[in-house]
Amino acid sequence: MKLNLAKELTALEQMTVGQLQQRYADVFGEPVRSRHKQYLIRRIAWRLQANAEGGLSERALRRAEELANLADVRVTAPRGEVEAVPAAATRVPVPNRPSDPRLPPFGAAITREYKGRTIYVTVLPDGFEYAGERYPSLTAVAKAVTGSHMNGFRFFKIEGKP
């Protein structure tokens, strides 16, 4: 039985998702949980074409099987003992400059006059220090100083973009 593929593909476009799911079950011989219309159309069209004109050649199927056997398809690490990595090898060196180019180097102070007092903030490798407390961001420091949310770069008048 020779199918008219063009007519069949046009008919697929006109079907509802429920009808496509039924057609998928007829063509593939198993139900489908997907409700994505384009996915269903593509899968059904592929199977109809493969049935009408033949799928992959035997040579292509054998080669695909060889490649699948050669591929290391491990998803998790192998069980068993894992060699211990020396602690010195796992340490990541701390760069001399913060990751944001707008910030001065570590150890530098950022100052700002605010309501008659001078605010001193020290740049640390893992954040900022203000009044003996550590903060993760300049925004957190600005909030501690002003009591309301404010962009830290804007509050400390640090210009430029990253």
Q: Tell me if 88 is assigned to some domain.
A: no
SS3 of residue 135 by DSSP: strand
Q: What is the DSSP letter of 155?
A: H
Number of domains in the chain: 2
Residue 86 domain-assigned (yes or no): no
At residue 78, the pLDDT reads 65
In a domain, 84, yes or no: no
What 3-state class would DSSP assign to 114?
strand
Residue of 148 and 3 predicted with greater confidence: 148
Q: Please determine, for residue 75, whether its predicted confidence score (pLDDT) is greater than 90.
A: no
The C-alpha atoms of residue 32 and residue 20 are separated, in whole angstroms, by 10
Residue 23, judged by CB atoms within 10 A of its CB (0-12, 13-18, 19+), counts as buried
Residue 1 is predicted with a pLDDT of: 42
Burial annotation 81-111 (CB, 10 A radius, 16+ → b, else e): eeeeeeeeeeeeeeeeebeeeebeeeeeebe
Looking at 44, 70, 96, the residue that finishes a domain is 70
10 and 66 share one domain: yes
Residue 150 lies in a domain: yes
The pLDDT tens digits for 129-162 are 999 999 999 999 999 999 999 898 899 988 765 5
Domain membership flag for residue 129: yes
User: By residue range, what is the domain housing residue 113?
Assistant: 109-155
Is residue 161 situated within a structural domain?
no
Question: Using one digit for the tens of pLDDT, what is the confidence trace for 81-97?
Answer: 655 555 555 555 555 65
